A and B are shown apart, each in its own frame.
Chain A
């Protein structure tokens, strides 16, 4: 039993980071119905920007983190301004295609600027390892969980309690209507991308702190796909639930199914759960069921 709790607990901490990944996709999907495939590269760019502030410039973390995130947000907004904005009002498929292109373009840019070497990454946060006789939770994942849930709450607060958030939700529902009521949809869309890239940078910094940072680290962004498909592409709560499901499910598969001889099942388990969920609820657990007449 303690074993199970330990496994679920480990999964939950990682799941919170995955939830943040999911949130980044959901926020953009809600606003423009485009799936951001470049999410992994945004993660790498955000992490490297923080790396510059913290490791290269040697700033203390409580200055480096906000500065790094701000830089990530600016980069996100800039990318939106250059690539997504001209497509406002067009078919969301074309935006999705643009993000696919961005994926490769940004990957190449990261390699040009930082090379594809691995950069050591030690945040040296206060050690809060939780070690009792039954349980063992490492400091880094606990910090990752804390930072992720804090970011998640901040974003939700921003969306539901501020005037910008209201405008974002209005634009998310209908860009044309929002524009008719004087909401600058183009600007709001830029803010949405900035928020998304800030969140992803937080996730990136946390994940890099587990190991190290490299141009290839963006692969973790693909974890966002099962997260949002399970939770529902347009549900913020769904991202949280989806993230937790993926984290716990990975953890359980690693602890109980792999030792049974199914080596490598951990990587497949999220997609397995995703398939089951999609069979039962094609729009995800919390996704809006859309009725489209063709």
Chain B
């Protein structure tokens, strides 16, 4: 349903981050995008969500198409309204000085229907940890609670596609596990999910397909299970490669990048 074609994005007119990236999101799947820091994953999500202009970035080439209609000229509010696409930014994008209730209400700003109240209860049922904190400032909640809230806020926008940017960042393993369980549940309820993750193992485990991004390009793609078995992915992103000891020289990733091309 969402396809990105040969997208090139430049920040401040000079810093080239996405160098002709192409990928395809199919309806109902969990798509995992993995890549090292600075590979351009976040930029990719920002661009799709229509927020690249805010960060002084420009699309200089390529196109983003939603059901074969170009959306690269639209801004974030339009994209959300027309295509129910919600972007959950990295690092828990919640409003620290608003209460949890207010956070959920603020997230429902783009909606004008009268079901907001019932939806709020539904979301809180989804994340029971948030219930006792409803009237507290969100800034005082723990990291896991904040991430739950962020996803809950995203649900308040009634998304069909959810772009999640590193939801597991800075969370304890147990909470990460719970979170990924929730993401799977969301997917089962019919939401297409694009998941950008550093925690490649957990992400690929719940994903259907995956892309590996390097230097603003897709270098590898395939079924999630296939990727999990891929030797390079195992070595670079899962930390488990061949068992024999390697020299530090080999460990330097930029020296070995050639292999991808």
Instruction: Please tell me which stretch of B22-30, B87-95, B199-207, B229-237 contacts chain A, meaning at least 4 of its Cβ atoms lie within 8 angstroms of it.
Output: B87-95
- Check B98–A181 contact: CB distance below 8 A: no
Q: Tell which of B53, B88, B95, B110 has the most Cβ of chain A within 10 Å.
A: B95
- For A163, the chain B residues whose CB sits under 8 A away are 105, 109
**Residue total for B at the interface (Cβ-Cβ under 8 A):** 30
Within 8 A of B (CB), among A152-197: 163, 166-167, 169-170, 173-185
Q: How far is the CA of A89 from the CA of B105 in the complex (A)?
A: 24
Does A290 make an interface contact (CB < 8 A)?
A: no
CA distance A76 to B44 in the complex (A): 36
* Contact residues in A for B98 (Cβ distance below 8 Å): 166, 169-170, 173
Interface centre among A175, A176, A182 (most CB of B within 10 A): A182
Q: Nearest Cβ distance between residue A175 and chain B, in whole angstroms?
A: 7
Knowing A163-B109, A166-B106, A167-B106 are in contact, say whether A181-B51 is a contact too (CB < 8 A): no
How many Å lie between the Cα of A163 and that of B87 in the bound state?
21
Which one of B76-84, B120-128, B188-196, B215-223 is at the A interface? Answer: B76-84
Please state if B54 and A89 are interface contacts (CB–CB under 8 Å): yes
Q: In the complex, what residues of A have CB within 8 A of residue B49's CB?
A: 180
Choose from B55, B87, B88 the contact partner of A89 (Cβ within 8 Å): B55
Measured CA separation A181–B75 after assembly (Å): 12
- On chain A, the residues within 8 Å of B107 by CB distance are 181-182
Q: For the complex, what is the distance from the CA of A89 to the CA of B11, rounded to whole Å?
A: 13
Given the interface contacts A163-B105, A167-B109, does A181 sit within 8 Å of B153 by beta carbon?
yes
Residue contact A177 to B97, C-beta cutoff 8 Å: no
User: Are A90 and B105 interface neighbours, CB within 8 A?
Assistant: no
Contact call A174/B95, Cβ cutoff below 8 A:
yes
Q: Is B119 an interface residue (CB 8 A)?
A: no
Given A90-B56, A163-B109, A180 contacting B95 (CB threshold 8 A) = no
Q: How far is the CB of B156 from chain A (nearest CB, A)?
A: 8
B96 at the interface (CB under 8 A from A): yes
B54 touching A88, Cβ below 8 Å: yes
The answer, among A88, A175, A183, for a CB contact under 8 Å with B109, is A183
Query: DSSP class of A's interface residues: helix, strand, loop or mixed?
Result: helix
| Cα distance A84–B254 in the bound complex, in angstroms | 43
- Residues in chain A near residue B105, CB distance under 8 A: 163, 166
Q: Does B86 contact A (CB under 8 A)?
A: yes
| Most chain B C-beta atoms within 10 Å of own C-beta, residue among A88, A175, A180 | A180
CB within 8 Å of B: which A118-168 residues: 163, 166-167
A182 touches B157 (CB 8 A): yes
A170→B109 contact, CB < 8 A: yes
Q: Is the CB of B95 within 8 A of A182?
A: no
Is the pair A170, B77 in contact by a Cβ cutoff of 8 Å?
no
* 8 Å CB contact of B51 from A170, A174, A180: A180
Give the complex CA separation of A173 and B139 in angstroms: 12
Closest chain-B Cβ to A22's Cβ sits at a distance in Å of: 19
Q: A170-B95, A173-B95 are known contacts. Are A179 and B51 too (CB-CB below 8 A)?
A: yes
CB–CB A182/B76 < 8 A:
yes
Instruction: Point out the residues of chain B lying under 8 angstroms from A167, CB to CB.
Output: 106, 109
B58 at the A interface (CB under 8 A): no
Let me know if B5 is at the binding interface, CB within 8 A: no
**Contact of A182 with B86 in the complex, beta carbons under 8 Å:** yes
- Residue ID in chain B nearest A183 by CB atoms: B109
Q: Name the residue on B nearest A181 (C-beta).
A: B107
Tell me, rounded to whole Å, the shortest Cβ–Cβ distance linking A288 to chain B: 9
CB within 8 A of B106: which of A90, A170, A184?
A170
- CB-based contact B95/A179 at 8 Å: no
CA distance A174 to B88 in the complex (A): 14
Q: State in angstroms the CA–CA spacing of A182 and B93 once bound together.
A: 13
Contacts of B87 in A (CB 8 A): 180
Within 8 A of A (CB), among B157-209: 157
Q: Are A183 and B106 in contact (CB under 8 A)?
A: yes
CB distance from A126 to the nearest CB of B (A): 41
Residues of A within 8 A of B54 (CB): 88-89, 175-176, 179, 185
Instruction: Please determine whether A178 and B106 come into contact, CB atoms closer than 8 angstroms.
Output: yes
Which of A173, A176, A181 has most B Cβ within 10 Å? A181
The 4 closest A-B pairs by CB, nearest first: A182-B110, A182-B80, A170-B106, A177-B93
Chain B interface (Cβ < 8 Å from any Cβ of A): 49, 51, 53-56, 75-77, 80-81, 86-89, 93-98, 102, 105-107, 109-110, 153-154, 157
A-B contact pairs, 21 of them (CB 8 A): A88-B54, A166-B106, A167-B106, A169-B95, A169-B102, A173-B98, A177-B89, A178-B95, A180-B51, A180-B76, A181-B86, A181-B106, A181-B107, A181-B157, A182-B76, A182-B81, A182-B86, A182-B107, A182-B109, A183-B109, A184-B75
